[in-house]
Structure 1
Amino acid sequence: MVRLTNLWRRWALTALGCVCVALGILGVVLPVLPTTPFLLVAVWAFARSSERLHTWLVHHPWLGRPVRDWEHHRVIPIRAKVIALSAMTVSMTWVLFFSSAPWYALATMAAVMSYGAWFILSKPSRPPSAS
């Protein structure tokens, strides 16, 4: 029974990784769909389910570098930081001025976004240089 459960878990994580890679690739061409979060979920899922697919994603010529930088150094590139923080600011401004959300919903949204902004800003923008 345990072996069957492990097989299902590996299959589910591999499927999740494949779906996330597909969504990440779509995000390259669709501006409303983010690429990086899907690729990070994919590399996480593949690391727990398929060494072959994990290696493929980490060493992919187009997708691999940001995934490797995150996996090894927890790097968030400056461009991604600017996009994320800008999107949070625009979203908060829009909700604040153009919605009738109650004050506690606005406060919760501001708190969650503040934590997200802190997390993003606390990560390095580039990997450490090899000396």
Structure 2
Amino acid sequence: MNGKRIFYLLLGWLSLITGVIGIFLPLLPTTPLVLLAAWCFSKSSERFHAWLLAHKFFGPIVMDWQSSDGIPRKSRNRAIIFMWAGMAISIFLVHRFWATVGLVIIGLCVSTYLMRMPLRSENLASDTRLANDSSSKE
């Protein structure tokens, strides 16, 4: 195994473990870390990448991101609401001017990015998952 592949493999596992911890700790982002893990595994290990795609909880996150269909409107809106709520709590607790400025700039950039992403209907998401489930059972 070459050094680059080992680096991506270790970064993928570190990212995934940190993402799992983020499920339980507020303000530690789970989804971006899982997506980073998927990217790292795609560069280092087909087996781990396939495992992550087939995972009960993380697979749908990665498949939604990798598809070109866009994201469901509900998911986008929830992400924006929870992001701003978390940042508002951080701003309230920290009371530092530059931290507030940094969080607001990050929030505006991420919100702009999410608002510009293509949207898909909720029905398409459930239809795609049903099709994937039925084809994997055959």
- Is the TM value for this pair above 0.5? yes
> Unaligned regions of 5+ residues in structure 2, if any?
129-138
Secondary structure in 1 matching 2:56: coil
**Partner amino acid, structure 1, of 2:12:** G
In the TM superposition, 1:27-38 aligns within 5 A as 27-28=22-23, 30-32=24-26, 33-38=28-33
TM-score (norm 2): 0.67
TM-score (norm 1): 0.70
Higher helix fraction (1 or 2) = 2
CA distance in 2 between partners of 1:77 and 1:115 (Å)? 18
CA distance in 1 between partners of 2:48 and 2:74 (Å)? 28
Partner residue of 1:111?
105
Inter-CA distance 77–12: structure 2 relative to 1 (3 Å threshold): farther
Give the conservation status (yes or no) of the 8 Å contact 2:76–2:114. Answer: no
Is 1:7 aligned to residue 5 of structure 2?
Answer: no
Single out whichever of 67-76 and 114-123 deviates more from structure 2.
67-76
Identity, % of aligned pairs?
A: 22
Partner residue of 1:3?
none
Task: Kindly provide the CA deviation profile for residues 26-53 of structure 1, in whole angstroms up to 9, marking residues without a partner as x.
Answer: 333x041332111101001011111111
Aligned-CA RMSD value: 3.3
Length, aligned pairs only: 123
Offset at 1:88? 2.3
CA distance in 1 between partners of 2:5 and 2:48 (Å)? 12
Secondary structure in 1 matching 2:57: coil
> Unaligned regions of 5+ residues in structure 1, if any?
1-5
CA distance in 2 between partners of 1:31 and 1:43 (Å)? 21
**Runs ≥4 residues deviating over 6 A:** none
CA distance in 2 between partners of 1:70 and 1:43 (Å)? 10
Partner residue of 1:121?
115
Is 1:85 aligned to residue 81 of structure 2?
Answer: yes
Give the structure with higher Rg (CA): 1
Give the conservation status (yes or no) of the 8 Å contact 2:38–2:49. Answer: yes
